[in-house]
Structure 1
């Protein structure tokens, strides 16, 4: 059960709203209090791209788990809830729509759900603007000399408020892909030139001289002899050795690029319809726009 003591945690900016399965629906926005009991009655959850939409979720049966609010509804139920602006008190009609959507029954002896907890906690009931009624407004208006009145409904103000939509663009971090390092073995041919040596025999003839005459005449004058020489050669020997040549690792760097985002926004225009009759009795229809 969510109580008054939990409001600060929910409004801390760290709180998320979790559905009945524990999945995150979105970030918690505002907490709405019951006018009769002052207890938390609704919480808004920010959904959609960049959290630009807010959906109302009942706090009946909700539990606070750390900084997060666990509600007993699915993510689709919350996202399909009636679109209601989170800009003030909930009217009885708006609450009825929400109760019907979530299959709940309005508690007995309950009036309008109060304003949001936090900056507007001092306003208790009344219309969305926080005024206490037409009588007080009329008294204030007469005190400062109000000109004109509202022809489209109950007099609530002496001026129109012109609003417009503003495009708010942000970014969100998401997974774009994965990069892996994989080591594998390939076979390639390597050719090297290696010098090798071998011995060849050659016959050397030399004349009889005084220096070799003794060797030459040693032995019989006529005989048969054999003489041999062992020849040598070099043979290429191939051996392989695994040698570490470098270290390779993955790193990331952030690259900033400019992207254009465009969307349509609505704005209100105010025009002056001057239907004052001139001296000739004709009506002057003049439009001044803002």
Structure 2
């Protein structure tokens, strides 16, 4: 039994959403059976808050306890003092919150039984020293933040198409033309100029007349060359995005201070029990 308790105290609780919720703080045993029935998981900043989680329907894998509840549901469980025994009312509130039927409560207790569950913590060293249970040491917490990565992508913004078409226009041009016409010239023959004798009879002669007419011919010849090319034009544009950053709040004696870590933790003051820069550490009380 002590070996099982020690193993539980060394485990981390993992929610149904795969998120690590925290380390087991205490194990609560059933007063009648002595079996582990509840564990508390350390949540909140620096793991100072302990929330109850039922061990029913859980699965152990190495140093992890996989529970059928997500992280947000576990963090919202009823706030019960983890340093005391669970009363019947507190236990009923917890079962009701986790949606577990009353029949799942081991060996239904009567109203005459005032409380259940003996809390076993990692600090109960004297009784479990032989099993190697030790006090928890320093608390480590990993701080994460999101960073904005800005890249470039190429996308189509439009297309340019060259289309050649034929346009017809009327052209007027004047050219000189010539043609032949008949000109009749009459010249009387004077007496004494006649050459020989003339005979009376029919005679035909002809003359061919010519004229010029316009002749239209066409030829095709190149007049211009069009070249289409692309060029890169650079400009600057400002982009916006939201990033998330984890902060720290220190809960000391139930009072939440304003110790939000806005800067990287480049200073460490273990002797004060406080993380942060040297100039952010409050004076000694």
**TM > 0.5:** no
Asked which structure has the greater RCO (Cα within 8 Å, sep 6+), the reply is 2
Find the structure with the greater CA-based Rg.
2
